[in-house]
Amino acid sequence: MSQATINKMIRFATLDQRRKSLKKEVKELDEEIAGMTAGLLEAMADDLIAEATVVLPTGEHAVVSTSRQLWASAKEHHREVGEELEGMGMGEFITHNVNGTRLSAWVRDFEEEAGRRLNPNEIDELLPEGLRGKITISEVHKLKSR
């Protein structure tokens, strides 16, 4: 193995360890923010404040503001809700999607059945005729360090 390859591996592992450390820090920050959000929203509502500029310890200014959005989704009865909306002339609310996670698992089963790695083209040839060339099959290669 060349020294250049070793140096790249060292750099990769160093960056990967730093990334993991930063992810951990971000998770901790997210938890702290989540823990104070409800109380801060309530305090701002009680004080009738929708937006305020604050001075940070660094001297920089930041704007803290509240916003409200409403979201709706069908609870458990997706089909019934869809049929009702279509009956009301609101069919544009209804979409039919392919579950990529389940589709990927089904495609991986072709490799398992073959007992070896298959390239995307080989898998495409094994698909039912009506699906050949209509599904994107990608290989993703990643590096890890521990």
Top-confidence residue, 101 or 141:
101
* pTM reported for the whole predicted model: 0.60
Evaluate whether residue 56 is within a structural domain. yes
Phi–psi pair at 33, nearest 5 degrees:
-65, -45
Tokens in use for 136?
């994107």
Determine, yes or no, domain membership for 83: no
In total, how many domains does the chain have?
Answer: 2
The pLDDT of residue 37: 92
The amino acid present at 30, given as its one-letter code, is: D
Task: Tell me the residue range of the domain where 29 lies.
Answer: 3-65
Q: Which of 16, 47, 65 is the last residue of a domain?
A: 65
pLDDT of residue 145: 59
- pLDDT at position 63: 93
pLDDT of residue 143: 62
Write down the pLDDT at residue 144. Answer: 67
* C-alpha span between 25 and 85 (Å, rounded): 45
Q: What confidence tens digit (pLDDT) does each residue in 2-54 have?
A: 999 999 999 999 999 999 999 999 999 999 999 999 999 999 999 999 899 99
Burial (0-12, 13-18, 19+ Cβ within 10 Å), 118: buried
Residue 80: the pLDDT is: 86
Shared domain check, 9 and 61: yes
Q: Residue 34 and residue 55: Cα distance in Å, rounded?
A: 21
Whether residue 46 is contained in a domain is answered as yes
Lowest model confidence (mean pLDDT) among 14-18, 96-100, 101-105, 109-113: 96-100
- The residues near 83 (Cβ < 8 Å, ≥ 6 apart) are none
Give the tens place of pLDDT for each residue, 61-98.
999 999 888 887 777 778 888 888 889 998 888 887 78
Q: What is the pLDDT of residue 22?
A: 98
Q: Which of 50, 85, 53, 90 is nearest to 66 (CA)?
A: 50
Note the pLDDT of residue 67: 87
The answer to whether residue 126 scores a pLDDT higher than 90 is: yes
Q: Is the dihedral of CA 110, 114, 115, 121 positive or negative?
A: negative
Residue 76 is assigned to a structural domain of this protein: no
Distance from C-alpha of 117 to C-alpha of 127, rounded to nearest angstrom = 16
